[in-house]
Amino acid sequence: MADKQCKLLVIGGGPGGYVCAIRAAQLGVDTMLVEADKAGGTCLNVGCIPSKAIIHAADEFYRACSFTADNKLGIVAARPSIDLQKTVQWKDSIVSRLNGGVGGLLKRAGVTVIAGKASFLDGKTVKVDTDNDSSGSVTISAENIVIATGSEPQQLPAMAFGGNVISSTEALSLTELPTTLAIVGGGYIGLEIGTAYAKLGSQVFIVESAASILPQYDARLTEPVAKRLAQLGVEVVTQARANTFTDAGLEFEIKDGSVRQLPADKVLITVGRRPRTRDCRLSELSLTMNGDFVEIDDRCQTSMRGVYAIGDVTGDPMLAHRAMAQGEMVAEIAAGLNRSWDKRCIPSVCFTDPEIVCAGLLPAEAIAQDLEVDVTQFPFTASGRAMTMEREDGFVRVVAQKADGVIVGVQSVGAGVAELAASFSLAIEMGARVDDVAATIHAHPTLGEAFQEACMQAGGHALHS
């Protein structure tokens, strides 16, 4: 294959990479994208989308199992069964449809896509080992290069992936239900997958080294999740360190120094993710690093001129929507537009049961920034919609500046609250005050009314609490 040149070269076709390439091409920038696997990256292929599919299937199965003779709704159904292999096939069909959609978008935008593994020769040149044996490799020179190589599951030295020690990738493709599943790591990935398998019928154990699950959140947000896990029969052990996995099960040490063993068919390791930088020979570049991550400025520019980095490779928060926003911005910079990162918040969602949504500052974070704030919340026990859903656990919480009522943070925990994330983020990005939200008519009956009610309470005129 002959050597190539372009104005913008994107390495990695995940959410940030493909959005960057499409937007750049839309703006008339000569753009190439190199992807070693399938378009869509971790999120589409082995992360966000597959996990939500499995979570949905588990919710439906668990719900069907509740339709016994004594249920409150008066619905009686035969005991259901699940064909996990068919469930995985359905999940894979969704991924395949979305893969095709991303490929079509890239083609329609005029992006040149090259399948293969990219490695840096210098700050302007990349070698791509293609999948086509007859083509060999190609060298691409570019005015601007975007590193969008993403991340991969972090292994534990004593429990490398393989056999019955699995990562989230394998956990989302199991075709046989494990009788017992031990999970090392009580963050959102471990809890999402663990909850799904508990609903499908596995006995699930979670071992977390911190003092609580989801340690990035405060206890008010995590308490409903912990309560639900207990209802599902999930055993959670905190302040514990996993040691090894043998035929006898998972061995771990608890805070008093004693050692326990949990019998388990599979051990799922969810202790975090690390940037994927080794295969692309990032060491060939003189980049300033922030630990293992590439350091960037407010334009996603690295320490080398014309080299940008976006998404997980730049560190937390490792969220697909953050990568997409960064990718769009870098594309516009490559097209000559004046852009910089000016986002007030990046919402996060834990698809646990119940779900957790965070936008902006938690109360403790606001206080740490020397902000004087009022914190108000509206419980779903007072929500008609929550009652009709049989899910009154949770609330919406608003963090607003005392002086002017400007909203600096909104959090919620509850069934289905993921869909409120956009409302929360929009209020913060628009600089809304609590009176603005309180004066906005919210449809009834909806969970979104809880946001309005919490803001009414902050303004001193609560109606339903």
pLDDT on residue 247: 85
Which DSSP string corresponds to 288-341? -EETTEEP--TT-B-SSTTEEE-GGGG-SS--HHHHHHHHHHHHHHHTT-----
Query: Is-catalytic flag, 56?
Result: no
Question: What tens digit of pLDDT does each residue of 182-200 get?
Answer: 999 999 999 999 999 999 9
Of 28-32, 175-179, 455-459, give the lowest mean pLDDT range: 455-459
Q: Does position 71 have pLDDT exceeding 90, yes or no?
A: no
286 or 308: which carries more pLDDT confidence? 308
How large is the average pLDDT for residues 83-88? 97
Catalytic residue among 56, 444, 461, 464: 444
Q: What are phi and psi of 315, to 5 degrees?
A: 100, -170
Q: How many residues does the chain have?
A: 465
Q: For residue 281, which of 149, 440, 136 has the smallest C-alpha distance?
A: 149
pLDDT on residue 459: 81
Compute the distance between CA of residue 6 and CA of residue 18 in angstroms, rounded to an integer: 16
CB–CB of 134/248 below 8 Å? no
Q: Does position 1 have pLDDT exceeding 50, yes or no?
A: no
pLDDT on residue 195: 98
Question: What tens digit of pLDDT does each residue of 414-454 get?
Answer: 999 999 999 999 999 999 999 999 999 999 999 999 999 99
For CA atoms 10, 285, 37, 308, the dihedral sign is negative
Q: Does position 55 have pLDDT exceeding 80, yes or no?
A: yes
Q: Does position 206 have pLDDT exceeding 70, yes or no?
A: yes
pLDDT on residue 70: 85
pLDDT on residue 443: 97
Distance of CA 217 to the CA centre of its chain: 15
Q: What angle do CA 314, 173, 176 make, to 5 degrees?
A: 150
The tokens for 301 are 């520019």
How large is the average pLDDT for residues 58-85? 93
Count of helices and strands (H, E) across the chain: 13, 23
CB–CB of 193/185 below 8 Å? no
> Per the omega criterion (within 30 degrees of 0), is the bond before 153 cis?
no
Q: What is the mean pLDDT of the chain?
A: 95
pLDDT on residue 135: 64
Compute the distance between CA of residue 387 and CA of residue 393 in angstroms, rounded to an integer: 10
Domains belonging to the chain, first-starting first, are: 4-50+87-152+274-334 (3.50.50.60), 165-271 (3.50.50.60), 348-458 (3.30.390.30)
